[in-house]
């Protein structure tokens, strides 16, 4: 009688362990979901920082001309009236290639 009790108890423990490891949802699935959540949180943080930078840039462009002027100078090579533009050209080597 005692032997059957322990056998049933052991069988129930195995059944519960099986459900824990291979059932729906199992521990490996839960761990995987936790990892995915952490990865998504990191990705969201990167996007949040990017959005903050873009908001600051939009605010700058709406409020002042200095940011717009800086962008025009750096990206398009524009100059202001009265400035002198200098272009430095590297000399060519005898083979017709630019010396570096």
In a domain, 69, yes or no: yes
In a domain, 92, yes or no: no
- Check if the beta carbon of residue 78 is closer than 8 Å to that of residue 72: yes
3-class DSSP string for the chain: CHHHHHHHHHHHHHHHHHHHHHCCCCHHHHHHHHHHHHHHHHHHHHHHHHHHHHHHHHHHHHHCHHHHHHHHHHHHCCCCCCCCCCCCCCCECCCCCECC
15: domain range? 2-76
- Check if the beta carbon of residue 75 is closer than 8 Å to that of residue 82: no
In a domain, 24, yes or no: yes
In a domain, 17, yes or no: yes
**What is the total count of domains within the chain?**
1
pLDDT value at position 40?
98
| Residue 2: pLDDT band with limits 50, 70, 90 | confident
Mean pLDDT of all residues belonging to the chain? 83
pLDDT value at position 97?
66
Tens digit of pLDDT for each residue in 21-62?
777 777 788 889 999 999 999 999 999 999 999 998 888 778
């Amino acid at each position: 009688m005692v032997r059957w009790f322990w056998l049933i108890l052991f069988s129930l423990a195995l059944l519960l362990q099986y459900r824990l490891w291979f059932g729906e949802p199992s521990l490996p699935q839960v761990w995987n979901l936790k990892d995915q959540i952490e990865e998504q949180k990191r990705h969201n943080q990167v996007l949040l920082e990017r959005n903050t930078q873009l908001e600051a840039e939009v605010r700058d462009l709406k409020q002042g001309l200095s940011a717009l002027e800086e962008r025009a100078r750096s990206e398009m090579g524009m100059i202001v009236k009265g400035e002198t533009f200098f272009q430095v050209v590297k000399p060519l080597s005898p083979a017709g290639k630019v010396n570096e």
